[in-house]
């Protein structure tokens, strides 16, 4: 590195190398588990303001958002952090509804100017707002949420909200923006996700789900039983063979992957649970959390800066994850979900994800069952996996579905939104 090179120039160089044939220097190393990350994502909940009031929402607290000048400080801090560690940075702008931040477009522009990968987790917005974004630069992806088929969705997200998403997806398509639909898995929709996925084939680029975290107003909703969860997982794995837009984010899918002798997926953030490893969440007031889905504060970005938050003892404890996972063969791509454990009333740093079925994996995914899967289906799973490996190594990896973050061998896809 030239002595006078700015951190922005260095990040640009790292990003360019990642996009080209050179390999990226990997310097985010976990001292607890054998994993190394070449990418880092900041999920920034710019504002809690929202025109909706979903019944499962983890946080409706009123926090004052940062002003534009502080927001730029945050972006510069993120760029400096990534440059210092030699990793590719991305920022995921979320909310509430991120467009309701008074300086949303200016912050978006500032992130693009800093060459960060920018994704959006938001609500449907008017076409003119999307066109304004695209005039600056296309976001890497735009994620909206549904909670199931129309009637269940509207009972959680409010009347008309299903239709609003269905009408919004073609606009994303017309503007060439990669689209995601995220579903929060609950007891009430566990049987609707596969049908919803099939219904959305051709309308959305990717559909993904994550487990309900029983925190905030989400504590009032029922979570599926473990048996319901594993049955759903089996159905989803098989449904995906003919519906490749169905994506995985949940770390526990790596239990059957391991059972079936397939390469492990990246799980939630590309490296299993990436809380405080290659991923942190930022609240509107500047508080940094290891993960948005449960209270896990590690510092404040304006008072401490990102580096100090990342190096704090609290961050180290979340990075280490649950001691109950120690010694597990798939720990570096799993770790369960700390947020689910926390929401279930467990000590997330000492007890296991309550849905973990590692000890019963032979019952759920016995080798005999593998033999039961028709040969053609097995072939299709492997062919699909190979095709993805090629696609993954052919991209700059900083787009998309991080959670989905399917990792093959050493090829890493980016960190993901949660």
Contact footprint for ligand SAM (CB under 6 A): 50, 56-58, 94-97, 121-123, 144-145, 182, 184, 210, 212-213, 215-216, 218, 293
Q: What is the largest CA-CA distance in the chain?
A: 62
Answer whether 255's CB lies under 8 Å from 272's CB. Answer: no
- Residues lying near ligand SF4 in the complex (CB under 6 A) are found at 251, 255, 268-269, 273-275, 279, 291, 293, 325, 328, 330-331, 334-339, 352-353, 356, 358, 418
Binding partner of residue 338 among ligand SAM, ligand SF4, none, CB cut-off 5 to 8 Å per kind: ligand SF4
Shortest distance, position 42 Cβ to ligand SF4, whole Å: 13
Smaller CB distance to ligand SAM: residue 35 or 249?
Answer: 249
Q: How many angstroms separate the CA atoms of 302 and 70, rounded?
A: 8
CB neighbours of residue 37 within 10 Å: 24
Interacting partner of 97 out of ligand SF4, ligand SAM, none (Cβ under 5 to 8 A depending on kind)? ligand SAM
Q: Say which entry of ligand SF4, ligand SAM, none residue 156 contacts (CB below 5 to 8 A, set by partner kind).
A: none
∠ Cα 259 265 268 (to 5°): 120
Three-state DSSP class for residue 29? strand
CB of 186 to ligand SAM, least distance (A): 9
Contact 89, 117 (CB under 8 A): yes
Kindly tell me which of 116 and 273 has the beta carbon lying closer to ligand SF4: 273
Comparing CB distances to ligand SF4, the nearer of 112 and 349 is 349
Which of ligand SAM, ligand SF4, none has residue 122 at its interface (CB below 5 to 8 Å by kind)?
ligand SAM
Distance, in Å, from the CA atom of 17 to the CA atom of 5, rounded to the nearest integer, reads 16
Q: Which is nearer to ligand SAM, 1 or 220 (CB)?
A: 220
Contacted entry of ligand SAM, ligand SF4, none for residue 181, CB cut-off 5 to 8 Å set by kind: none
Q: Give me the least distance between CB of 343 and ligand SF4, in Å please.
A: 10
Between 24 and 330, whose beta carbon lies closer to ligand SF4? 330
Contact 313, 322 (CB under 8 A): no
How distant, in Å, are the alpha carbons of 67, 69, 70, 82, 239 from that of 75?
13, 10, 9, 11, 40
Which one of ligand SAM, ligand SF4, none is in contact with 19 (Cβ closer than 5 to 8 A by kind)? none
Contact 203, 227 (CB under 8 A): no
Assigned token pair, 106 = 């200016």
> Cβ of residue 358: shortest distance to ligand SAM, in angstroms?
23
Nearer to ligand SAM, 52 or 175 (CB): 52
352 binds, among ligand SF4, ligand SAM, none (CB under 5 to 8 A by kind): ligand SF4
Closer by beta carbon to ligand SF4, 56 or else 352: 352
Which of 183, 330 has the CB closer to ligand SAM? 183
Count each helix (H run) and each strand (E run) in the chain, helices first.
Answer: 15, 11
Q: Which of 80, 106, 77 is nearest to 93 (CA)?
A: 106
**Bridge-partner residues for 145, per DSSP?**
182
Three-point CA angle 211, 236, 223, nearest 5°: 25
Q: Toward ligand SF4, which CB reaches closer, 98 or 335?
A: 335
Answer whether 88's CB lies under 8 Å from 14's CB: yes
Token digits for 377?
């289906």
Q: How far is the CB of 275 from ligand SF4 (least distance, A)?
A: 4
- At its nearest, how many Å lie between ligand SAM and the CB of residue 202? 21
Judge whether 342 and 213 are in contact, CB under 8 Å: yes
Q: CB 123 → ligand SF4: shortest distance, Å?
A: 20
Query: Cβ contacts of residue 189 below 8 Å, gap of 6+?
Result: 147, 148, 152, 183
Smallest distance, Å, CB 353 to ligand SF4? 4
- Minimum distance, C-beta of residue 416 to ligand SF4, in the bound complex (Å): 8
Residue 29 corresponds to which tokens in the numbers above?
């190393």
Instruction: Indicate which of ligand SF4, ligand SAM, none lies near residue 188 (CB less than 5 to 8 Å, by partner kind).
Output: none
- Tokens encoding 132: 């304004």
């Amino acid at each position: 590195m030239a002595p006078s090179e700015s951190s922005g120039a260095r990040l640009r160089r790292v990003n360019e190398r990642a996009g080209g044939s050179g390999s990226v220097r990997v310097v985010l190393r976990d001292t607890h588990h054998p994993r190394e990350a070449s990418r880092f994502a900041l999920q920034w909940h710019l504002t809690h303001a929202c025109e909706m009031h979903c019944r499962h929402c983890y946080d409706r607290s009123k926090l004052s958002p940062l002003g534009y000048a502080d927001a730029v400080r945050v972006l510069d801090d993120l760029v400096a952090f990534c440059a210092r560690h030699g990793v590719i940075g991305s920022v995921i702008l979320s909310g509430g509804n991120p467009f309701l931040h008074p300086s949303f477009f200016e912050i978006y522009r500032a992130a693009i100017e800093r060459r960060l990968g920018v994704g959006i987790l938001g609500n449907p917005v008017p076409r003119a707002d999307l066109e304004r974004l695209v005039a600056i630069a296309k976001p890497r992806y735009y994620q909206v949420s549904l909670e199931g088929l129309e009637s269940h969705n509207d009972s959680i997200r409010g009347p008309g909200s299903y239709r609003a998403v269905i009408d919004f997806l073609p606009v994303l398509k017309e503007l060439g923006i990669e689209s995601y639909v995220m579903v929060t898995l609950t007891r009430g929709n566990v049987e609707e996700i596969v049908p919803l996925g099939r219904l959305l084939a051709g309308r959305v680029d990717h559909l993904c789900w994550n487990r309900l975290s029983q925190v905030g107003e989400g504590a009032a909703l029922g979570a599926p039983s473990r048996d319901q969860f594993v049955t759903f997982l089996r159905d989803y794995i098989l449904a995906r063979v003919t519906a490749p837009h169905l994506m995985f984010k949940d770390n526990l899918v790596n239990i059957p992957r391991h059972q079936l002798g397939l390469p492990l997926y990246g799980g939630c953030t590309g490296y299993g649970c990436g809380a405080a490893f290659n991923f942190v969440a930022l609240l509107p007031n500047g508080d940094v959390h290891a993960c948005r889905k449960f209270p896990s504060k590690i510092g404040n970005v304006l008072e401490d800066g990102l580096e100090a938050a990342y190096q704090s003892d609290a961050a180290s404890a979340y990075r280490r994850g649950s001691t109950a996972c120690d010694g597990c063969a798939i720990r570096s791509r799993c770790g369960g979900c700390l947020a689910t454990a926390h929401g279930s009333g467990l000590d997330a740093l000492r007890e296991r994800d309550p849905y973990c079925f590692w000890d019963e994996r032979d019952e759920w995914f016995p080798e005999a069952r593998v033999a039961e899967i028709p040969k053609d289906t097995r072939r299709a799973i492997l062919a699909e996996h190979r095709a993805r490996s090629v696609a993954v190594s052919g991209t700059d990896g900083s787009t998309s579905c991080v959670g989905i973050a399917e990792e093959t061998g050493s090829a890493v896809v980016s960190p993901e939104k949660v």
